[in-house]
Structure 1
Amino acid sequence: MAERILLAGCGDLGMRVAARLLAQGDEVWALRRRPPEQTLPGLRWLGADLAAPHSLAGLPAGITRLVYLPAPDARDKAAYRTLFVDGLRHLLQALDGGALRQVLLVSSSAVYGEHDGDWVDEDTPPAPPGFNGALLLEAEQWLAAQAVPSTVLRLAGLYGPDRLQLVERLRAGVPRVPRALPHWANRIHVDDAATAIVHLLRLPAPLPLYLGVDDTPLPLDELYDFLARLIGAPLPGEGPAPAGVGSKRLSNARLRASGWVPGWPDARDGYAALLDT
């Protein structure tokens, strides 16, 4: 059955989601402050600002699914609160609540803290070490208290086309990694993140929370050394673990049990394919 779906904050990930939904025959709207000139056939753009409630007047009637996946302009507390907490509230107030059957909030594994390399899943209590995770968690909790059915997808670190900053930093010899004690990294290819979102929109009875990550957590030094060898760059030297991230191994068991299968279960294969094009 075709749905009427609104993607709020439709950047790179949102466009990948939109392409898959349109291919399935859904009606898809995308909301951004400045819609791009080049777009997908059939995608309907809405020029509006999530931080300005008056700009959200006159949204399409009958939206059945909302995917909330904006990206802040700045990495600061005020920008995150405006977009993820206030913006979500403004948009839900502006939409037709009688038609809306699901809100899918794209969140982040930043809501988790330090776990000394232990496995983390949806039952692990969140303990965000930074303002970004804290505000995303606040948005999750606010959404869970609303009447509309909701699903949260906490994504690990995204990589993919146009998301190869790590590779460029390795070429420049910038990164340092801890080697004496493993610091675990978790990744998901942006295309797999898109398929996970579409999958959760199609589930007849999704659970309230899922972790979006590939099958293969990797020690940071192992991932960085692999990429450095792949591009012929020097291996990164010894250094401290990234601040405010925490060492943990994220489990995708719940998402996989729901029927989702990653196209790139190991980031090493995903990066290798990207760098081979």
Structure 2
Amino acid sequence: MARILVVGTGDIGGHLAGQMAAEGHEVFGVRRSDKPVAEGVTVISADVADPETLTGLPDNVDILVYSVAAPVFSKEGYHNYYVKGLKNVLKSLKGQNVKHAFFVSSSSVYHQMDAEWVDETSETQPSSFAGKEMLAAEDALLKSDIAGTVVRFTGIYGPGRTRMIEQARHGGYCDPEPAVWTNRIHRDDCVGVLHFLITKALSGDKLDNIYLATDDEPATLFDVLEWMKDRIGDVDPDKDVGEVSRRANRRCSNKRLRALGYDFRYTNYRDGYDVMLTEMGLI
């Protein structure tokens, strides 16, 4: 069994930590509060932006998973918690023989906005501060002394992440042309992907330095909203989704992750949202 350090134990990191602990691994979870994470997970209260709070990190860590969420949506917040925070953790682990480190990143690092297909080899020249800071954090890991892998998640949905459903319920409408392409991954598959990659690393399998984690089927915003409204039935009259012009418009490929052998629990938005709509009593 391995000693696993999960830095950031929110929705994804917390479920991952609990799953790894249930399998018998010795798991430590870093979070800003002292709130319990899951059975079998040792909580370490620390703030990654403050290196003085990181003195209690465990020794002999085999796997590091960095899955924080910046508490403030700002350039400074992103820099402090993604770039600076990751560097602080890596420095605190210096001298340990960490087998592999994983950084949870985002498809916001891509700049393509004209319905292009993107994958791990595509150019990344983001214009937003979020994309730039994520890319800087990726670079910090991949240039460190620890073998590292970046996992870029697309739009995450699942329990508690119901924004798209609420848009549909309130009549959200997007013109079918020009198409606005969207990409998503269910929370359970986010956890599944990380668990899958950790298992590969512990088995000594070679991993690529970047994986784009998204389901099999990019879909237009029009198709997603109209499908949801049809499934729900009782929705408000149509009204334009105001932020369409600010949405990313690209199609993300998961071929590298698929080729490695990961099987998605929810292969497309219909599979995942159907479960959510049922659980919410909307269908």
TM-score (norm 2): 0.92
1:211 corresponds to: 212
Distance 1:172 1:239 in 2: 10
**Aligned partner of 2:82: which letter?**
F
The Cα offsets for residues 43-72 of structure 1, whole Å up to 9 and x where unpaired, read as 110000101110001211111111001011
1:86 corresponds to: 84
Distance 2:187 2:48 in 1: 24
Given that 2:18 and 2:39 are in contact with CA atoms closer than 8 Å, whether structure 1 keeps it comes out as no
2:178 pairs with 1:177: no
Alignment of 1:1-277 (within 5 A): 2-37=1-36, 39-173=37-171, 175-203=172-200, 204-232=205-233, 233-234=235-236, 236-238=238-240, 242-277=244-279
Deviates more, 1:257-266 or 1:122-131: 122-131
Deviates more, 1:93-102 or 1:83-92: 93-102
* Distance change >3 Å, CA 96–CA 235, structure 1 → 2: farther
**Aligned partner of 1:262: which letter?**
F
Q: Secondary structure at the match of 1:215?
A: coil
**Aligned partner of 1:222: which letter?**
D
Deviates more, 1:66-75 or 1:162-171: 162-171
Distance 1:49 1:198 in 2: 24
* Distance change >3 Å, CA 72–CA 61, structure 1 → 2: same
Given that 1:61 and 1:96 are in contact with CA atoms closer than 8 Å, whether structure 2 keeps it comes out as no
Q: Secondary structure at the match of 1:30?
A: strand
- How many pairs align? 274
Distance 1:183 1:41 in 2: 42
Instruction: In structure 1, list runs of 5 or more residues that go unmatched.
Output: none
Distance 1:139 1:65 in 2: 18
- Aligned-residue offset at 1:34: 0.3
Distance 1:20 1:256 in 2: 22
Given that 1:65 and 1:102 are in contact with CA atoms closer than 8 Å, whether structure 2 keeps it comes out as yes
Distance 1:242 1:124 in 2: 24
**Aligned partner of 1:31: which letter?**
V
* Distance change >3 Å, CA 244–CA 172, structure 1 → 2: closer
Q: Secondary structure at the match of 1:276?
A: helix
* Distance change >3 Å, CA 235–CA 222, structure 1 → 2: farther
Percent identical residues: 34
Distance 1:135 1:208 in 2: 18
The Cα offsets for residues 214-257 of structure 1, whole Å up to 9 and x where unpaired, read as 00100111001111222222464455663444311100000011
